[in-house]
Amino acid sequence: MSGYGLAVGLCIGVVLLLFLLLRTRRVREKYAAMWLLLALGVCVFGIFPNLAFALADLLGVQTPVNLVFSGAMVVLLLVCIQLSVEVSNLEEETRTIAEEVAMLKLDVQRLREADEARVAPPDPGADPE
């Protein structure tokens, strides 16, 4: 099997895996779309390898392999940046939710104390004022 056939086969496998992950709701659509576009791009270069040579010549890259590695590094950098943004947003949401839960717990505790003070019978040994 040639390297191009292997690339196309792996892309088809990735696409099938992504659809399975989407069906089981293990990955969200916005992430799956990015990976599907990437797999589609790799499939196109696997089916039409001369396109990679033409693109390398057009961009002034000496060999298509250098273009592929450079493209892969850019894609990985973008994925890392995007995931960092998502993690930052989730950390902020988690902090906000924790603060809201703490305030609700305080409110519940105060309501219980007020309810217990209102319902509790007076202590017979206590000195009335």
Segment 87-112, tens digit of pLDDT: 999 999 999 999 999 999 999 999 99
pLDDT at 40: 86
Mean pLDDT calculated for residue range 37-57: 87
Give 58's contacts (C-beta < 8 A, 6+ positions apart).
none
Alpha carbon distance 33, 13 (integer Å): 15
Burial pattern 54-75, b for ≥16 Cβ within 10 A else e, equals: eebeeeebeebeebbeebeeee
| This prediction's pTM | 0.69
Mean pLDDT calculated for residue range 41-64: 89
Residue 84 is encoded by which pair of tokens? Answer: 């960092």
Mean pLDDT calculated for residue range 6-32: 87
